[in-house]
Structure 1
């Protein structure tokens, strides 16, 4: 009788822990979808308002003005701020910066709807969604340890950044086209890698729940959502470079 009671208690704890992990994982994707929705609305608003566009783009050349340039680089600064200030920032402050990041990113990406045909934007977005979804499922369900690929993928990201900077001076469209294929491949693999990493974070919260404050768990969900959002965004942008039809 005592053994049966012990087994019942053990099973109930197991179910409770599993629910903690699943709740954390669900919160990550919820925050990711919130950021995606905010960015989409911001991009649509800028695209639909000629007055708003005038604040970001030169009406004669169609290029970004000073404010448009600031809006383009501000999201990167906010990502660095969130990473560096994770321990010092409160949950409310982190959420505020996260929402500001998503808004500014949507503003900076509003040029997509100006440069590319709507059909190709929707098509590439759908393709990115499919790729991201498949790799997320693979990363969550696979028993293969993907952590060993982390350094290789990070090196690939650094290589893409360096190549992009070099191409800013070269201005080669062919080089940009080839680099886009590498970009899709790297961030597709990163999606599976990061999903598995986030799953392990959730399992770590289960096993060491008493060491994690509720606010720290919520902050981890925000940062994890940011990681997945950037993976999805890069897949979409690189696909658009390859298959996007310009106006």
Structure 2
């Protein structure tokens, strides 16, 4: 995908990019806010938390199902349906986090969130502003992600504090890199133009889901790093 130096962009192109990125981050922020609100509500209701905890792998399967549905049926899904599914995914993530947070202190959760927000913001700004073409990083990041998933599975069976620390550190670096890469890809997609407002809105929702996943995963790995100090 071509890289467009800021100096060569027309005012109209910049306007399209700003509008698209603005909508993308609006959707992402709404998803994160919903996740946080539901996680807080679950944490305040012990009975609900126990019920969710008993669901086992059901919620992760629901999350996976939503992502797979959005990924493979993207051309056939309307912006309205995509938006509803994204918010549903955010809500289910909130239910899961409501249980997960019980294993961490409030100070660790707060510190991890603030660190994630700062890191995510910096890497996203880098991806948006840099003139360097980050597209070649795509293949490396994809293989690194596969390796991280395999290592995480292995860690379940033979895990130790050292391996857990290494996986967490690599996870933070990986999703920081993905944040910069995905931001630039979204910017370049906006520069290519959209057929209509509907297509642009749907693109913003899919972009929001991508960045949301980067933020959530980076947050979880940073949370594990903070908690490892205790």
Using the size of structure 1 for normalisation, the TM-score is 0.85
**1:221 corresponds to 2:204:** yes
1:107-118 mapped onto 2 (5 Å cutoff): 107-118=95-106
How many Å apart are 1:245 and its aligned residue?
A: 6.2
Please say if 1:24 is aligned against 2:16.
no
Name whichever of 26-35 and 87-96 sits farther off: 87-96
> 1:115-155: per-residue Cα shift (whole Å, max 9, x none)?
10001110010001111111111111111000011100111
State the match for 1:162 in structure 2. 150
- The residue correspondences of 1:40-119 to structure 2 (distance < 5 A) are 40-57=36-53, 65=54, 67-119=55-107
8 Å CA contact retained: 1:35, 1:229: yes
Structure 2 CA distance for partners of 1:246 and 1:55, relative to 1, 3 Å: farther
Q: Is 2:52–2:99's contact at 8 Å kept on the other side of the alignment?
A: no
C-alpha distance in 1, partners of 2:81/2:229? 39
CA distance in 2, matches of 1:165, 1:54: 25
Deviation at 1:214, TM superposition (A): 2.0
CA distance in structure 2 between the partners assigned to 1:70 and 1:113 by the alignment? 18
What is the RMSD computed on CA atoms of the aligned residues? Answer: 1.7
Deviations 1:39-78 (A, max 9, x none): 0011111110112112122xxxxxxx2x242113321221
Measure, in 2, the Cα distance between the counterparts of 1:240 and 1:53.
20
- Assess, with a 3 A threshold, how the Cα gap between structure 1 residues 111 and 168 changes in structure 2: closer, same or farther: same
2:223 maps to 1:240: yes
CA distance in 2, matches of 1:18, 1:89: 28
Question: Structure 2: any 5+ residue segments left out of the alignment?
Answer: 1-9
Residue 143 of structure 1 aligns to a residue in which SS? coil
Stretches of structure 1 that go unaligned for 5 or more consecutive residues are 1-13, 58-64
Partner Cα separation in structure 2 for residue 177 and residue 241 of structure 1: 8
Asked whether the 8 Å contact 1:38–1:103 carries over to 2, the reply is yes
Q: Is the Cα contact below 8 Å between 1:117 and 1:246 reproduced in 2? A: no
Q: What TM-score, normalized by structure 2, do the two folds share? A: 0.91
Aligned 8 A contact 2:38 2:91 in 1: yes
Structure 1: 4+ residue segments shifted above 4 A? none
The answer as to whether partners of 2:35 and 2:90 remain within 8 angstroms in 1 is yes
SS at match of 1:147: coil
Q: Distance in 1 between matches of 2:208 and 2:132?
A: 23
Is residue 135–residue 189 contact of structure 1 (8 Å, CA) maintained in 2? yes
Distance in 1 of aligned mates of 2:110 and 2:228: 11
- Whole-angstrom CA distance in 2 between matches of 1:43 and 1:153: 30
- How many residues get paired? 222
